[in-house]
Amino acid sequence: MSACPDKTQLLHGLLDGELDAVNAAAFEAHLKTCEACNAEYLRQLSLRDRVATPGVAHRAPERLRANIEAMIAEEAAPAAHPPPRSVRRAWWAAGGAGAGGLIAAALALTIAIPQMTEASLDRQLVAGHVRSLLANHLVDIQTSNQHVVRPWFNGKVDVAPPAPELADQGFPLVGGRLDYLDGRVTPAIVYKRRLHTVNLFVWPAETRTGRDHVARRDGYSVVEWTEGGLRFAAVSDIGVDELQQFRHAFEAAAPAS
Site of interaction with other proteins (CB under 8 A): 1-3, 5, 8-9, 11-13, 16, 18, 35-36, 39-40, 43-44, 46-48, 50-51, 53-61, 63-65, 67-68, 71-73, 75-76, 133-136, 195
Specify the 3-state DSSP secondary structure of 228.
coil
Question: To the nearest whole angstrom, how small is the minimum distance from the Cβ of residue 205 to other proteins?
Answer: 33
Nearer to other proteins, 136 or 154 (CB): 136
Nearer to other proteins, 36 or 94 (CB): 36
DSSP string, 76-129: H-STTPPPPHHHHHHHHHT-HHHHHHHHHHHHHHHHHSPPPPHHHHHHHHHHHH
Nearer to other proteins, 157 or 198 (CB): 198
Question: To the nearest whole angstrom, how small is the minimum distance from the Cβ of residue 196 to other proteins?
Answer: 12
Question: To the nearest whole angstrom, how small is the minimum distance from the Cβ of residue 44 to other proteins?
Answer: 6
Tell me which amino acid residue 73 is.
A
Q: Using alpha carbons, select from 235, 226, 156, 147 the residue that is nearest to residue 198.
A: 235
Question: To the nearest whole angstrom, how small is the minimum distance from the Cβ of residue 189 to other proteins?
Answer: 21
CB atoms within 10 A of CB 239: 12
Question: To the nearest whole angstrom, how small is the minimum distance from the Cβ of residue 203 to other proteins?
Answer: 26
Nearer to other proteins, 22 or 57 (CB): 57
Nearer to other proteins, 40 or 224 (CB): 40
Question: To the nearest whole angstrom, how small is the minimum distance from the Cβ of residue 100 to other proteins?
Answer: 30
Please give the Cα distance from 147 to 131 (Å, whole number): 26
Nearer to other proteins, 57 or 256 (CB): 57
Question: To the nearest whole angstrom, how small is the minimum distance from the Cβ of residue 126 to other proteins?
Answer: 15
Q: Using alpha carbons, select from 140, 253, 145, 250 the residue that is nearest to residue 200.
A: 250
Contact 176, 169 (CB under 8 A): no
Within its chain, how far is the Cα of 133 from the centroid? 2
> To 10 degrees, what angle do helices 85-93 and 96-112 make?
130
Please give the Cα distance from 256 to 226 (Å, whole number): 10
Nearer to other proteins, 40 or 122 (CB): 40
Question: What is the chain's alpha carbon radius of gyration, rounded to the nearest angstrom?
Answer: 28
